[in-house]
Structure 1
Amino acid sequence: MIDEVGELLREAAARTVLPWFNQLSAEHIVEKAPGDLVTIADQQAEEFVAAGLRRLLPGSVVVGEEAVSVDDHLLRRLRDGGRVWLVDPIDGTANFAAGRRPFVMMVALLDAGVPVASWILDPIVGSLAVAERGAGCVVDGVRLADGVSGESPPLGKLRGALALRYLPDELRARVLAGVDGLGVVLPGQHCAGREHWDIATGEQDFALFWRTLPWDHVPGTLLVREAGGVARRLDGSPYDYTDDRPGLLVARSEAAWQELREALLPAD
């Protein structure tokens, strides 16, 4: 089924996402909430992927970002004991709507509430990252070495992204007070799935998020963990998608996570 889901995402990209890229008009874009966009491509892709996943795994439940935006009671299904698919048809919708990269398509499979597999597709280049719980992860068929980070670079050489937009003012001030000790602070890609991907492959060392919606982070945090990385809440507790609290710090290694927390989130 691992390969079948990947092929489903590729087909969905070819049929429902790429034809709309740089072809959207104003009537094809809706603001669900201030700054939170959905396009006709998001809607068509989610419908296509959801139907395909149900065929692949009869009796399974699909929880998609756009379906939840219409009926948030669907989120309760993530706590079901059976097999549940979590779908983000286009992660990075604002980028997609503006005709720029990155944006990705993401799926995760939950079994009895535990993420057991995830898929992230970059539709533009056709690159696919896949993670299986306890079995590692591959990118375009090439297995990532467990613990890609090796020895973590010192704090002054770490590079990563800080998503500051939604941080409360007091927390933002604390985080910004600690950035001088970091190597490179990136502006963020406005695409959580891509941030996780780049951490898993060693392209960057960390990312800090405030919003922790499950479709944004379940697929990518599984990828990071299977590559030897760490994804935890700001208080140090493991990331749990059923926990509605905001705040998530992801790093390529345990040592990097501890260094970053001490620098960016010093104890009061």
Structure 2
Amino acid sequence: MPTLTENVAALMREVAAREIMPRFRALAEGDVEEKSKGDLVTIADRASEIWLTPRLEALVAGSHVLGEEAAAADPALLERLSDDKALWTVDPVDGTGNFVAGRETFGVMIALVEKGMTTHAWIYLPVTDEIAIAERGAGAFWTSEGMATRLLSGRAAPAITDQSASFYVRFMPDDWKGPIERHASGIGRKESTLCSAVDYTSVARGRHDFVTYYRMLPWDHAPGTLILCEAGGVVRDIETGLDYTPRILKGPHLIARDEESWQRTAESIRALRAHL
């Protein structure tokens, strides 16, 4: 009998085959809308979430889905985070802007949250048919070309000029945006994929050093946080020093591949902020 992990992975592959990949680089006029300025949604996002919702809820008795598109239509659904019922967070197409532009950097993200803590997580990259899966306390695994390997994000900490990082400061308050941008000026390689699915899996695979975020919506961060933390990484608020949980909706958060990298980078940003 398939496990919960296997069932969800199968659903992600099926929804990608049914609703996402047939529309990739084939969106018709009227298939893309703007929810708010610069925030796009496509028919693939909505159809995928609608298809996934009843199937996920059927896997865990009494569970509910908190999907990005449903919450965009009814923000009151975010209140589901505050109760202890099993909750699925769903980002049906993470990186929608990339999907619309025909770029391959997009994914499907799902997490199971129980009593406010993420217990299971999945990130699926449909173009390459690669998936990251984690269960709390049981590690994180990356499957590519049918081969599963354990994710371990840590390696010898590189010098700042050799680091690779992404800095998302669009929603940052000015007193954090400035210091982060100043710290970023010394980083060796900066890249913004505009896709949490890619950012988190890149850090978890040891290919990226850190990322900064302010807006911490659960469908964007609950899956990646568990996967990265099970791989040895850290997702923590720079100001409070508190680890991320799905009930936290804003930052500033620093995502790093290991504790040493997190501490070193957070200290640098805090010091720059103190000299404002």
Corresponding residue SS for 1:102 = coil
Quick one: which of 199, 212, 223 aligns to 1:208?
A: 212
Supply the distance in 1 between the matched residues of 2:79 and 2:101 (Cα, whole angstroms).
Answer: 32
Question: How far does residue 145 in structure 1 lie from its aligned partner after superposition?
Answer: 4.8
Which amino acid in 1 is paired with 2:157?
Answer: S
Residue of 95, 110, 114 corresponding to 2:113: 110
SS at match of 1:167: coil
The CA distance in 2 between the partners of 1:154 and 1:22, in whole Å, is 39
- Cα deviation per residue 1:29-85 (whole Å; 9 max; x = unaligned)? 111111111111000000111121122223211111111111111111122212111
Normalising to structure 2: TM-score of the pair?
0.91
CA distance in 2, matches of 1:41, 1:204: 29
- Indicate the percent of aligned positions where both proteins have the same amino acid: 37
2:226 corresponds, among 222, 227, 249, to 222
Match of 1:142 among 118, 123, 148: 148
Aligned to 2:179: 174
TM-score by length of 1: 0.94
Stretches (4+) displaced over 6 A: none
Instruction: State the aligned residue count.
Output: 266
CA distance in 2, matches of 1:16, 1:79: 31
Report Cα offsets for 1:141-178 as digits up to 9, x if no partner. Answer: 523254x3133223332211111333334433222222
Matches within 5 A, 1:28-47: 28-47=31-50
* Correspondence 1:1-268 to 2 at 5 A: 1-140=4-143, 141-146=147-152, 148-186=153-191, 188-235=192-239, 236-266=241-271, 267-268=273-274
Amino acid at match of 2:95: G
Q: CA RMSD in A?
A: 1.5
Q: Which moved more, 1:232-241 or 1:123-132?
A: 232-241
State the secondary structure of the residue aligned to 1:45.
helix
Residue type at the aligned position of 2:267 = E
CA distance in 1, matches of 2:72, 2:159: 42
Q: Distance in 1 between matches of 2:120 and 2:110?
A: 8
Instruction: Provide Cα deviations, 1:66-108, integer angstroms capped at 9, x if missing partner.
Output: 1111111111112221211111101001111111120000100
AA paired with 2:229?
A: R
What secondary structure does 1:265 align onto?
A: helix
Aligned equivalents of 1:231, 1:66: Cα separation in 2: 25
Contact 1:22 1:97 in 2 (8 A): yes
Which of 127-136 and 236-245 deviates more?
A: 236-245
